[in-house]
Amino acid sequence: MDSFQNMTVTSVKDYISTIDILSYPNLIPELKQDSRSAIQKIAESMEKKFYTRNREIERIEQMKSIEKTYYKRGIQKIGGIDEVGRGPLAGPVVTCVIILKPDSSRLFVDDSKKVSKKNREVLCQQLLEDAMDYAIGQVDCDVIDEINILNATKKAMTDSLATLSAKPDLLLIDALHLDTAIPQKSIIHGDATSYAIAAASIVAKVYRDNLMQIYHEEYPEYGFDHNMGYGTAEHIDALRKFGPTPIHRKSFIQNLGVR
């Protein structure tokens, strides 16, 4: 490769776009010596990207600290379990339990609510590639109305555990306790502090969002494709205009003046 000083700005940009971010520290000093302001800005941008990546690696390592404690004790099959959809007016509550390989360290894994739709879908695929096993649990509105949302959430979780082929040695769960013989650790704000729980929240969120897209095709008046069943003003207006669908939770809409 020629010296950067002998290359046009466009050529430098094109070259940098082909380089792995791990090589940035080897290139930045030379770029900084270039007198052209555009090249200086490229160097600054590379520094920021490299710094941001390192910070993200540190954050993920911190999220995995709980799991690492158990890995060191010889516990390898750790199941993260979480739910999505406790609050919506319509649709099921969905849970995921996922047992990840110990070396899974996907950047940008976080509480699913903090991750963009595009990144959730990418991460979901990556996490499933890293999974030793996973399962989805789903409890629909009739059961939610019958046993309440908390018990429905626990039922979805135990249902998902029952369908796993590889039973976990330990469950990490977000602020709940399940009636199961599997040892479990309840973690407050687990979807934001535990890698395994955050992974479960992402997979559950992608599954439920895709399901709500299907419901939108059947009931297009309610905006399920973007509100995912949550009680937005648009959704409530549609409820009052068209009435509830079979996927609406009667116990959730009874105080909205809906018939």
In tens, the pLDDT along 19-37 reads: 888 889 899 998 999 999 9
The strand pairing partners of 99, in sequence order, are 79, 133
Contacting residues for 11 by C-beta, under 8 A, at least 6 apart: none
Q: What is the DSSP code (8-state) at residue 100?
A: E
Strand partners, 34: none
Work out whether strand 170-174 and strand 131-139 pair parallel, antiparallel, or are unpaired: unpaired
Residues of the chain with pLDDT under 70: 1-2, 259
pLDDT at residue number 2: 63
Q: Is residue 5 helix, strand or coil?
A: helix
Given its phi and psi angles, is residue 165 left (phi above 0), alpha (psi -120 to 50 degrees) or beta?
Answer: alpha
Q: Are strands 93-100 and 78-84 parallel, antiparallel or unpaired?
A: antiparallel
**Which letter does DSSP use for residue 163 in this model?**
T
Q: What is the pLDDT of residues 67-112, one digit of tens each?
A: 999 999 999 999 999 999 999 999 999 999 999 999 999 999 999 9
Element (H, E) at 134: strand 131-139
Rounded to 5°, angle at Cα 135 from 92 and 156: 35
- The CATH number corresponding to 65-204 among 3.20.20.70, 3.30.420.40, 3.30.420.10, 3.40.50.12160 equals 3.30.420.10
Q: What is the pLDDT of residue 166?
A: 86
What's the rounded Cα separation, in Å, for the pair 3 and 155?
63
Residue 98 phi, psi (nearest 5) = -135, 130
DSSP sequence for 7-67: S-HHHHHHHHTTS-GGGHHHHHHHHHT---HHHHHHHHHHHHHHHHHHHHHHHHHHHTHHH
pLDDT on residue 67? 97
pLDDT at 1: 56
Q: Are 222 and 239 in contact (CB under 8 A)?
A: yes
Residues β-bridged to residue 131? 100
Assess contact for 85 and 175: CB atoms under 8 A.
no
Edge-to-edge strands of the sheet including 170-174? 131-139, 93-100, 78-84, 170-174, 184-187
- The confidence score (pLDDT) of residue 124 equals 98
Distance of CA 156 to CAs 8, 82, 127, Å?
A: 59, 10, 21
Residue 255: per-residue pLDDT? 86
